[in-house]
Structure 1
Amino acid sequence: MHAPTSWASFAGRRATDVVECVDLQQDPQRLAEPGPWFVVVDFEAFGRGGRARAWRFAQVSDDVAPAAGALRDAPWRGPDPSSWRSSLDRDAYQEAVQRVRDHVRDGTVYQVNVCRVLGAPLPVVPDGATSLEPDAAALAARLVAGNPAPYGAAVHVPASSGVDPVWVVSASPELYLSLDAGVLASGPIKGTARTADGLTDKDRAENVMITDLVRNDLQQVCSPGTVTVTDLLGVEEHPGLVHLVSRVRGALAPEIAEAPDRWSRVLRATFPPGSVSGAPKSSALRIIEELETAPRGPYCGAVGWVDGDRAELAVGIRTFWWERGPHDDGVLRFGTGAGITWGSDPLAEWHETELKAERLVGLASARTADEFGTPARSAET
C-alpha cells in the first residue's frame, strides 16, 4: 500500500499537495485571496457547532476526471456490507416523520427534511510504524464508474499531513451555489423516485415550495429584481432514480460582490441549503435539532471550490465521510433523508431514504469486482 497524499477534486479541477487550511467562520475574508480554495462546510456550521473550512493546494490542474492518475488504480476496500448501522431505525424514523406532520398541522412549518446517518467500521490499516487512512481516491474512482454525478467531489487531507485533516467523497447531483460573471445560481432538488412515473403531486408541490425558499435566500444577496426561476420542475435522470430539479439565478449585488467578506455574507444568507433543511428554514432547523440523533457533518452541507469571483459548490448529499474518533479506529459514514410535508406517508418516506442510499452504500461496501454495484441494504439499527 502507499501512503495517501493530500488532494482534492471537484467539477473538473484537481489539486494536490496541501498548503494550508483556513477556518471560514473565523477568517472568511481569506476566500478573497488567490485560490482555488476547496471548501467543505458542515450542515451545522455558522453558529450551530459545525465546521466551515477551506484548503489551498500547491498544484492545481483543470479538465481532469475525479480521482484521475495513478491513485485511480488503487483497489477500494470498503466495510462489511452487514456492518452498517443507522442513527434512526425504521420505527424511530417513522415517528420523526409523524412528529413533523404534527408540526405542519399546527402551522409551525410547511416542510422539514429529516435525515439519518449510516455508519460502518472502517479502521486504519497498519503500515509499519504508521497507520494508513482509507483511500478516498479509490472510493471516488468507484463512484465515478458506478454512480457518475454532475457534482462529484472528493477532498482528502490525511492527519499525517500536519494540516487540519478532512476525508469526504461525494456523488452529489445537486448544485448549491455557483458564481460566474457576477451571476449567482442554485439548482434545488426536491422529488425522488425510481422512474419519472413515480413522481407525485406531493413531490411537485414540495419542489415549488423549496424553490421559492431558495429564491428568497438569493434575494438577500442579489440586486433587486434580478432573481428569477429559469427552470421549474425539470426531470433529471441519475443512476437508479430520477429527481425533480429547478433552477434559480440572480445578479450578485455590487456591494457584496466587491466586499472582501462576500463569501461569508453569501453563505450566511443561504446556508444551509433550503432543499436539505425546510421551510420556513429557521423553524425547520429547530425541529431537525429536536428529532435527529446524530450530527450531519458534511452531509447536507457544502462541497466545492471558490476562486476569486468564481465558484461552484454542491449540496453535500450522496456523500461519504470518514473519521477516526477517540474510541474507534475509524468509521465510514453516509447520510440519507427525505422531505416531509403534511402529505407524507411515514413508511414511504423511510423507503425513499433506502432508495437514496442503496446504490451508493452498495458501491462503498463492495470489496471485489464480483461485488461491484451490488446493493447493500441500509441497516435499520
Structure 2
Amino acid sequence: MSRYAASFASVRNHLMRGDSYLLNLCVSTPVETNLTLRHLFRFARAPYRMLLGPDARISGVHGRGCVCFSPEPFVTVRGRSISTFPMKGTAPSATQEARRWLETDEKENRESATIVDLMRNDLSMVATGVKVKRYRYISPVETSKGSILQCSSEISGLLPENWRSRLGEILLKLLPAGSVTGAPKEATCRAIAEAEDMERGFYTGIFGFFNGRDLDSAVSIRFMEEDERGMVYKSGGGITVMSRMEEEYREAVAKVYVPFDF
C-alpha cells in the first residue's frame, strides 16, 4: 500500500493545483498462478479477450506477453454510426445495497459526468450529431470471486461516408481512451506519467476487429502481463479531490480478478 499511497499523494497534488479534475491512477500487483497466459485466455469469460505471447509476442514492443479480458468497449461502428461506452464506477458486489450506492454516490456520479463530457467532446472531433443515448446504466460483471457491478454510458454520433478510408486517423484522434486517462486529457496524461511507478505498455491501450465494414474495439483493462520476472496484474481507478486513498486502493485491489465462471 505504501507505493500506492505515494502515487496517490502525487495525484492529489495535481488535482489540488487544478492540473486535472479526474485522473485514472493505475498500479501493478505481482501474482502467482500455475496457469499460463494461454490458459487464462482460454477459460476467461468476457465480452473482449486478447492474447499476446509468449509465443505471440510482438518483437521490440515492450518484450512481454499479456492477456486481457475486458468488459469495456472502446468504440463500435455499424454503418456510419459510431458509439463509445466509457465505464466509470465499480461496486465490489452485486447486492441491492451496492447498486444503490453506485447509483447515488456523489463521487461516482461526478466521475461519470466528467468522462461522458470528455468522450462527447472527443467523438465530436470525428462525428456529427453526437448525443448521450444512455447515461449511467449498470451491468453485472462475473469474476472468480462473485459478481461485481460496473457503471457505463453510451454516446453516439454519425461518421462521414468515407470513414473506412480514414479509420486510423479517426482512432488516433480519440486516443488515449478518456476512461483510463482523465480530464483534461493532455495535462492529466502528464500527471499520470509523474505519479505512476510502472510502464503501462499495452495496458489501457485498445484492441479490436475490423472486417472492412464494421468495427468492434475494446479498452485493454482487466490485464495480466508476463516477463522474465513473473506475472503482474494491472488495475486502477478514477481519482478526484473527493477520493480517499484507502477506498481507492481497495477498488484497485478488487479489480484484480479473472472472470472464470467455474
Fold in common (TM above 0.5): yes
**Are the equivalent residues in 2 in contact too, given 1:299–1:334 (CA < 8 A)?**
no
**Secondary structure in structure 1 of the residue aligned to 2:121:** helix
The change in CA–CA distance for 1:360 and 1:198 in structure 2 (over 3 A counts) is: farther
Is 1:242 aligned to 2:140, yes or no?
Answer: no
Mapping of 1:187-266 within 5 angstroms? 187-194=85-92, 195-199=98-102, 200-223=105-128, 226-239=129-142, 240-254=147-161, 257=163, 259=165, 262-266=166-170
Mapping of 1:135-214 within 5 angstroms? 135-144=36-45, 149-156=46-53, 158=55, 167-194=65-92, 195-199=98-102, 200-214=105-119
Shift of 1:178: 1.0
The change in CA–CA distance for 1:162 and 1:92 in structure 2 (over 3 A counts) is: closer
Is 1:355 aligned to 2:254, yes or no?
Answer: yes
**Are the equivalent residues in 2 in contact too, given 1:157–1:163 (CA < 8 A)?**
no
Q: What CA distance in whole angstroms lies between the structure 2 residues aligned with 1:349 and 1:287? A: 17
Which of structures 1 and 2 has the bigger CA Rg? 1
**Secondary structure in structure 1 of the residue aligned to 2:258:** helix
In structure 2, the partner of 1:343 is 242
Letter in 2 for 1:211: V
The change in CA–CA distance for 1:172 and 1:258 in structure 2 (over 3 A counts) is: closer
Is 1:98 aligned to 2:5, yes or no?
Answer: no
The change in CA–CA distance for 1:346 and 1:263 in structure 2 (over 3 A counts) is: same
Q: CA RMSD in A?
A: 2.7
Letter in 2 for 1:343: M
Letter in 1 for 2:13: D
Shift of 1:155: 4.4
**Are the equivalent residues in 1 in contact too, given 2:57–2:64 (CA < 8 A)?**
no
TM (norm. structure 2) is 0.85
TM (norm. structure 1) is 0.60
Letter in 2 for 1:208: A
Q: What CA distance in whole angstroms lies between the structure 2 residues aligned with 1:110 and 1:154? A: 34
Shift of 1:297: 1.3
Q: What CA distance in whole angstroms lies between the structure 2 residues aligned with 1:162 and 1:300? A: 20
The change in CA–CA distance for 1:161 and 1:202 in structure 2 (over 3 A counts) is: closer
% identity of equivalent residues: 28
Q: What CA distance in whole angstroms lies between the structure 2 residues aligned with 1:295 and 1:253? A: 36
Letter in 1 for 2:193: E
Letter in 1 for 2:115: I
**Are the equivalent residues in 2 in contact too, given 1:182–1:252 (CA < 8 A)?**
yes
Consecutive unaligned residues of structure 1, counting only runs of 5 or more, are: 1-89, 124-133, 364-371, 374-381
Shift of 1:93: 1.3
The change in CA–CA distance for 1:233 and 1:161 in structure 2 (over 3 A counts) is: closer
**Secondary structure in structure 1 of the residue aligned to 2:132:** strand
Q: What CA distance in whole angstroms lies between the structure 2 residues aligned with 1:160 and 1:347? A: 36
**Secondary structure in structure 2 of the residue aligned to 1:360:** coil
Shift of 1:157: 7.0
**Secondary structure in structure 2 of the residue aligned to 1:284:** helix
Shift of 1:150: 2.0
Structure with more relative contact order (C-alpha pairs < 8 Å, separation 6 or more): 2
Cα distance per residue 1:82-140 (max 9 Å; x no partner):
xxxxxxxx1221232233223222221111000012234789xxxxxxxxxx7543212
The change in CA–CA distance for 1:190 and 1:136 in structure 2 (over 3 A counts) is: same
Letter in 1 for 2:29: L
The change in CA–CA distance for 1:204 and 1:160 in structure 2 (over 3 A counts) is: closer
Runs of 4+ residues over 4 Å off in structure 1:
120-123, 159-166
